Amino acid sequence: MQEEKSVIEKTMRRIELERIRPRSKFYFLFINYFFWSAFFMCCFFAALSAGVAYHIVLEDRLYGVDKDIIKNISPFLPYFWVGLTSLFLLALHLVFRKTKGGYRMEIWLAMALGVFFVGLMMFAFVRAGMAYIVHNFFSR
Amino acid sequence: MLSEQEILEKTDQELVKLTLKHKEYYTFLMQRYEHKLRRYILRISGGRAEDTEDVMQEVFIKVYKNLNDFDTNLKFSSWIYRIAHNETITFLRKINRRPTTYNFEIDAVRVRSMKEDLDLDKDFDQKQLAGDISKIIGGMDVKYKQVLLLRYMEDKDYKEISDILKRPPGTVATLLRQAKERFKKEILKNSRLR
Q: Walk along chain B (194 residues) in steps of 10 and give the mean pLDDT of each run.
A: 85 93 94 93 80 92 96 91 94 75 73 81 74 83 90 92 94 94 86 69
- Domain membership flag for residue A95: yes
Same domain, B119 and B183: yes
| Residue B160, phi then psi, degrees to nearest 5 | -65, -40
Same domain, B74 and B124: no
Return d(Cα B151, Cα B158) in angstroms, integer. 8
pLDDT surpassing 80 at residue A101: yes
**Nearest CA distance, A24 vs chain B (angstrom):** 7
Percent of chain A with pLDDT over 90: 64
Per the model's pLDDT, the better-predicted residue between A133 and A59 turns out to be: A133
A-chain residues within 8 Å CB-CB of B15?
A: none
Using alpha carbons only, what angle is made at residue A15 by residues B161 and B80, rounded to the nearest 5 degrees? 5
Buried b (16+ CB within 10 A) or exposed e, A111-131: beebbeebeebbeebbeeebb
The residue range of the domain holding A63 is: 32-139
pLDDT attached to residue A71: 59
On the CB side of A40, how many CA atoms lie within 13 Å of its CA? Answer: 5
Residue that is last in its domain, among B28, B63, B94: B94
Binning pLDDT at 50, 70 and 90, where does residue A4 land? very low
Question: A128: which residues sit within 8 A by CB, 6+ positions away?
Answer: none
The residue range of the domain holding B179 is: 108-193
Interchain contact, B66 vs A7, CB within 8 Å: no
A38-75, pLDDT tens digit by residue? 999 999 999 999 999 988 887 766 555 565 655 565 56
A-chain residues within 8 Å CB-CB of B19?
A: 22
pLDDT surpassing 50 at residue A13: yes
- Domain membership flag for residue A134: yes
Task: Over range A94-106, report the average pLDDT.
Answer: 91
Interchain contact, B68 vs A22, CB within 8 Å: yes
**Nearest CA distance, B76 vs chain A (angstrom):** 15
Q: What is the CATH number for B176?
A: 1.20.140.160
- Domain membership flag for residue A115: yes
pLDDT attached to residue A61: 62
The residue of chain B with its CA nearest to that of A3 is B53
pLDDT attached to residue B98: 63
pLDDT attached to residue A62: 58
B-chain residues within 8 Å CB-CB of A106?
A: 168, 170-171
Q: Could you write out the DSSP letters of every residue in B3-37?
A: -HHHHHHS-HHHHHHHHHH-GGGHHHHHHHHHHHH
Cβ–Cβ < 8 Å for A20, B61: yes
Average pLDDT score, chain A: 86
CA dihedral sign, ordered B67, B73, B77, B78 = negative
Residue B26: name the closest of B39, B35, B17, B38 by CA. B17
A-chain residues within 8 Å CB-CB of B169?
A: 104
Residue that is last in its domain, among B62, B94, B126: B94
pLDDT attached to residue B111: 82
pLDDT attached to residue A69: 59
Task: Over range A99-127, report the average pLDDT.
Answer: 92
Per the model's pLDDT, the better-predicted residue between A22 and A4 turns out to be: A22
Domain count, chain B: 2
pLDDT attached to residue A1: 45
- Domain membership flag for residue B101: no
A-chain residues within 8 Å CB-CB of B56?
A: 7
Same domain, B8 and B42: yes
Asked if A10 is an interface residue toward chain B (Cβ–Cβ < 8 A), one would say yes
Percent of chain A with pLDDT over 70: 84
pLDDT surpassing 80 at residue A87: yes
pTM for this predicted structure: 0.84
CB atoms within 10 A of CB A53: 22
Q: What is the CATH number for B45?
A: 1.10.1740.10
Interchain contact, B60 vs A8, CB within 8 Å: yes
Radius of gyration (Cα) for chain A, nearest Å?
24
**Nearest CA distance, B38 vs chain A (angstrom):** 9
* CA B62 from centre of chain: 18
pLDDT surpassing 60 at residue A78: yes
Same domain, B33 and B60: yes
Return d(Cα B129, Cα B187) in angstroms, integer. 8
